[in-house]
Chain A
Amino acid sequence: MKRPASNLIFSLVVVGVLCLGAFQGRRVADLRESDAFYRWILTAAKLAPLGELEDLTPEPNAPDMKDDELFEAVVAVTENLLPEPAATDEDRDGEGGLYPKLVRHVYNDDQAADVLIWKLASGDSLEAARKEFLDYRGKGQLFSLGTQFDPAAMYASKEGSPVSLSNLFLGFRIMAANLVWLKVDQFYHQGMLHRMLPLMDVCVRLDPHFVDAYKVGAWYLAYNITAHMLGTPEPLKWWDEKHSAWVGEKEEYYYRGVDFLLDGIRKNPRDSSLYFDLGYMIYFIKLRDYANAARYLGNALQYEHEIFVRRMYNHALMRSGQYEKSLAGWQDYLEKFPEAKTADVARRYIEINQGLIFERDAEEAKARALTLDGEEGKAAEEEAERLYQEATRVWEKLRDEEQEPYAIARFNRAKALKYWEQKRYHEAVAILDMARYDSNDFWDEASNMIIAIKQEADMPLTLSEKLAVKRQEEAEAARKLRQQKSQE
């Protein structure tokens, strides 16, 4: 009789302890879910101002994405619970509207606010949103969801089964990603670039945190693969709805690189190097889209970054015409790194931006003078002249003291403009023709000015200039035709 009784007691004790384990397991699972939700909030807050929170080109039969809807629900709750963040230049969107507090906190990389966001994400106030998040995640309805939250979801069946390829590796899928990467490296050394691409895709699917796979993959797409491709003539380019750009074969690969890096950013929203590669390597160098370059380089600065990221950001600002910001950026750089080898570069670019501001203001004053009569017109004219002189003084100083090629080019540009104004066309063209060889950065602007002067003066164009004009005309005609067709 003794044994069955003790067996019963033991059974009850074991069941009791297992129930305790189940209870604790539920707690652990809750914490893991809150962790995933918190990470999604940070990602979504980061992507929302970049316009990357919605899938513009959904796949056929893809489920209805809920990113925007869920983020709005989260913002509605957090707007009342989060404190007012410190004001920055990046607080407003393109139309002047103030971003929600959550977005501003995340953009400022405010770590004190992160603690608060974590408390909200794991607390009662966002419980409804958290449940929705888990529901949408299971159904694959979150476009912005990085696979770092649940790698199983990526390989799941349509029903969102958690049993997946990742489980086949028993949690060692990251190791598998590394082995695939060794194969990628081998293909690279064998020059088999096209074989590398699908493997790199596999790498990032197996390990969404494999940042280097994203960076190197985008590099191959934007650089190595396109190295021997011919540029597509403007009339043959097609409109890419997703990226709002006219693209040829080369550009298509550039944008594939952009998409690959954006995927990496969605999964690693706080990795500075991904923003840098997207902003500088592709938008700045390849696409020459300086506004977007500045946008992503600005994001790269929010996190731990190399010193050159700051310099490239300032360059992108200058190229996109945001001279004041660029000037402030270089001043800040000089203040923070006065002993850096590149401190001289900063000093030079402070002057250059100052010169460009004078130039821009002079041109605005000149345009104003043309619309005004009498004293006001004369005052604007004098203002323009004074500003031109200020700009010329800057260029002269940089030319004499630093032999700065860009300053020499700008100085000559100012001279050419004067000649153009005085209708001394040949001298203007001669100066610009010489000046464009001083600085690569001035080449396109000088070439366009030369064509404009020659057209105004009815001077014969060179063969390459005729070709450039023809290409431009064809491109414009083709675009108009396509727009008409699309409207029809």
Chain B
Amino acid sequence: MTAPVNFLSSVWTIAIYTWREGIRKKVLIGFLILSILVLFGAQFMTAFLTVPRSAGELETSIDVQLKMVKDICVTVISIFGALIAIFISASVVPSEIENKVVYTVLSKPIRRFQYLIGKFLGVQFIIIVNLALMAGLFFVALWVKEGVLPTLLLWSALLTYFEFLIVSSFTFAVSCACTSAVVPTILGLFIYITGNLTEYLKDVERRSGQTALWLDEWTGKLARWLYLTLPNLKHFSLKTQILFLEPNDPPRDVQMMALVIYALVYALAGYIIAYWVFRRREM
């Protein structure tokens, strides 16, 4: 009984330590304050919008305001949330290698496997807390504007988290091979952008074979395999659709569950790569 408890206790300690260390990072706090300011500013940005209702008469459109607040908030949460997820995932391991803290930790009876799980969980805590803060503000803003509890926002925030989970797991994997946070941060941004452009590979596949050259054909085949295996973050656009849900839209529970499983599978892949890379490191 003590072995699993010890295992979990070590993981938990590292996770909490990572979380405490992470929330003190000035860049992270900067991102968070900036996002909260923009979320707050969205309320003012739309306050003066007017639409004509009849000749010579102007009326502030609540619908337009609400729509714009929703759109701005979803976008801000996506941008700043992704930046926070990428930055924190890219920096936790390299910063400990740089500070040589990792040597002290690994000299204890802790396996690399445990260390990485703790670090990974700590990163997820930070992402979840930041996302909860931003979504919480958005939730209150919508509640004040609509007068009803915007429960759909919770589902949207959940999907946003799982999108970040994929990005953060692969960024984390890259960071395990680096000694500085710069390269993983850049690659993390690259992962986020390419994850949104995975559909492009489908287009490459469709266009290939036009010249009848073997290279052209193989490019198409490679594009097809990459399209099938790389994570497609476009699937998570459901998070925006949910906010504008109509009463007769198809049931979302099936799609959401499928997306959650999708994200978990890729997060697992990211973690396995991270461990694979980290265990090979000479330390």
Interface residues of A (CB under 8 A from B): 3, 7, 10, 13-14, 17-22, 24-29, 31-32, 34-35, 38-39, 42, 109, 111, 114-115, 118, 121-122, 152, 159, 161-163, 167, 170-172, 174-175, 177-178, 181-182, 185, 188, 207, 209-212, 215-216, 219, 223-224, 227, 270, 304
Q: Which of B21-29, B124-132, B215-223, B263-271 contacts A (4 or more CB under 8 A)?
A: B263-271
Q: Beyond A167-B197, A215-B51: 14 further Cβ-contacts under 8 Å?
A: A14-B276, A17-B269, A21-B231, A21-B269, A28-B235, A32-B238, A114-B248, A152-B199, A159-B207, A171-B78, A172-B79, A174-B74, A270-B247, A304-B247
Q: Does B273 contact A (CB under 8 A)?
A: yes
Total interface residues on B, using CB and 8 Å?
57
Q: Note all chain B residues with C-beta closer than 8 A to A7.
A: 276
Q: Is the CB of A170 within 8 A of B196?
A: yes
A162 interface neighbour in B75, B196, B200, B238, Cβ under 8 Å: B200
Q: Note all chain A residues with C-beta closer than 8 A to B254.
A: 31
Given known A-B contacts A174-B71, A185-B50, A209-B244, A21 and B196 have beta carbons under 8 A apart: no
B250 to chain A, nearest CB (A): 5
Q: Is the CB of A21 within 8 A of B64?
A: no
Q: Is the CB of B52 within 8 A of A25?
A: no
CA distance A21 to B265 in the complex (A): 6
CA distance A14 to B266 in the complex (A): 10
CA distance A3 to B280 in the complex (A): 9
Q: Note all chain B residues with C-beta closer than 8 A to A178.
A: 67-68, 71-72
Given known A-B contacts A21-B231, A159-B206, A162-B199, A175 and B75 have beta carbons under 8 A apart: yes
Q: Does B251 contact A (CB under 8 A)?
A: yes
A-B contact pairs, 7 of them (CB 8 A): A25-B235, A28-B258, A28-B259, A31-B258, A174-B74, A219-B52, A224-B52
Q: Note all chain B residues with C-beta closer than 8 A to A19.
A: 229
Q: Note all chain A residues with C-beta closer than 8 A to B268.
A: 17
B265 interface neighbour in A24, A29, A215, A270, Cβ under 8 Å: A24
Q: Is the CB of B234 within 8 A of A212?
A: no
Q: Is the CB of A212 within 8 A of B67?
A: yes
A111 interface neighbour in B247, B255, B265, Cβ under 8 Å: B247
Q: Note all chain A residues with C-beta closer than 8 A to B61.
A: 212
Over the window 230-244 of chain B, the binary record of Cβ atoms lying under 8 Å from chain A Cβ atoms (1 yes, 0 no) is 011011011010001
Given known A-B contacts A28-B255, A114-B248, A224-B52, A172 and B78 have beta carbons under 8 A apart: yes
Q: Chain A: which residue is nearest B54 at the CB level?
A: A223
Q: Is the CB of B64 within 8 A of A212?
A: yes
Given known A-B contacts A21-B229, A171-B234, A212-B61, A109 and B248 have beta carbons under 8 A apart: yes
Q: Is the CB of A27 within 8 A of B200?
A: no
Given known A-B contacts A152-B199, A167-B200, A18 and B255 have beta carbons under 8 A apart: no
CA distance A194 to B111 in the complex (A): 69
Q: Note all chain B residues with C-beta closer than 8 A to A42.
A: 248
Q: Is the CB of A25 within 8 A of B71?
A: no
Q: Note all chain B residues with C-beta closer than 8 A to A209.
A: 244
Q: Note all chain A residues with C-beta closer than 8 A to B234.
A: 171
Q: Is the CB of B64 within 8 A of A14?
A: no
Given known A-B contacts A25-B231, A171-B196, A175-B72, A210 and B265 have beta carbons under 8 A apart: no
Q: Note all chain A residues with C-beta closer than 8 A to B186.
A: none
Q: Does B246 contact A (CB under 8 A)?
A: yes
Q: Note all chain A residues with C-beta closer than 8 A to B144.
A: none
CA distance A172 to B75 in the complex (A): 7
Q: Is the CB of B250 within 8 A of A118?
A: yes
A-B pairs, 8 with minimum CB distance: A17-B269, A175-B75, A22-B228, A10-B276, A21-B265, A24-B262, A212-B64, A118-B250
CA distance A34 to B246 in the complex (A): 17
A21 interface neighbour in B55, B250, B255, B262, Cβ under 8 Å: B262
CA distance A390 to B185 in the complex (A): 85
Q: Note all chain B residues with C-beta closer than 8 A to A109.
A: 248
Q: Is the CB of B67 within 8 A of A210?
A: yes
Q: Is the CB of A17 within 8 A of B71?
A: no
Given known A-B contacts A111-B248, A224-B52, A20 and B200 have beta carbons under 8 A apart: no
Q: Chain A: which residue is nearest B271 at the CB level?
A: A17
Q: Chain B: which residue is nearest A209 at the CB level?
A: B244
Q: Note all chain B residues with C-beta closer than 8 A to A223.
A: 52, 55
Q: Note all chain A residues with C-beta closer than 8 A to B244.
A: 209
Q: Is the interface of A mostly helix, strand, loop or mixed?
A: helix
Q: Is the CB of A174 within 8 A of B196?
A: no
Given known A-B contacts A17-B269, A212-B61, A270 and B248 have beta carbons under 8 A apart: yes
Q: Note all chain B residues with C-beta closer than 8 A to A115.
A: 251
Q: Note all chain A residues with C-beta closer than 8 A to B68.
A: 178, 181
Q: Is the CB of B199 within 8 A of A163?
A: yes
Interface residues of B in 28-50 (CB under 8 A from A): 45, 48-50
Q: Is the CB of A26 within 8 A of B228?
A: yes
Q: Note all chain B residues with C-beta closer than 8 A to A224.
A: 52
Q: Chain A: which residue is nearest B254 at the CB level?
A: A31
Given known A-B contacts A111-B248, A270-B248, A13 and B72 have beta carbons under 8 A apart: no
Q: Is the CB of A21 within 8 A of B78?
A: no
Q: Chain B: which residue is nearest A13 at the CB level?
A: B272
B176 to chain A, nearest CB (A): 13
Given known A-B contacts A21-B266, A32-B235, A210-B67, A10 and B193 have beta carbons under 8 A apart: no
B78 to chain A, nearest CB (A): 7
Given known A-B contacts A170-B196, A212-B61, A270-B248, A18 and B269 have beta carbons under 8 A apart: yes
Q: Is the CB of B261 within 8 A of A24?
A: yes
CA distance A20 to B64 in the complex (A): 42
CA distance A84 to B193 in the complex (A): 49
Q: Note all chain B residues with C-beta closer than 8 A to A216.
A: 51-52
A170 interface neighbour in B48, B52, B193, B249, Cβ under 8 Å: B193
Q: Is the CB of B64 within 8 A of A17?
A: no
- Choose among B74, B237, B276 the residue with the greatest number of A CB atoms under 10 Å from its CB: B276
B244 to chain A, nearest CB (A): 6
CA distance A203 to B262 in the complex (A): 33
Given known A-B contacts A14-B272, A27-B258, A178-B68, A171 and B199 have beta carbons under 8 A apart: no
CA distance A21 to B170 in the complex (A): 14
Q: Does B63 contact A (CB under 8 A)?
A: yes
Q: Is the CB of B250 within 8 A of A163?
A: no
Q: Note all chain A residues with C-beta closer than 8 A to B229.
A: 18-19, 21-22
Given known A-B contacts A14-B272, A22-B229, A212 and B202 have beta carbons under 8 A apart: no
Q: Chain B: which residue is nearest A268 at the CB level?
A: B246
Q: Does B146 contact A (CB under 8 A)?
A: no
B262 interface neighbour in A28, A152, A185, A304, Cβ under 8 Å: A28
Q: Is the CB of B265 within 8 A of A212?
A: no
Q: Note all chain B residues with C-beta closer than 8 A to A170.
A: 193, 196-197
Q: Is the CB of B255 within 8 A of A35?
A: yes
Q: Note all chain B residues with C-beta closer than 8 A to A17.
A: 265, 268-269, 272
- Choose among A21, A114, A121, A224 the residue with the greatest number of B CB atoms under 10 Å from its CB: A21
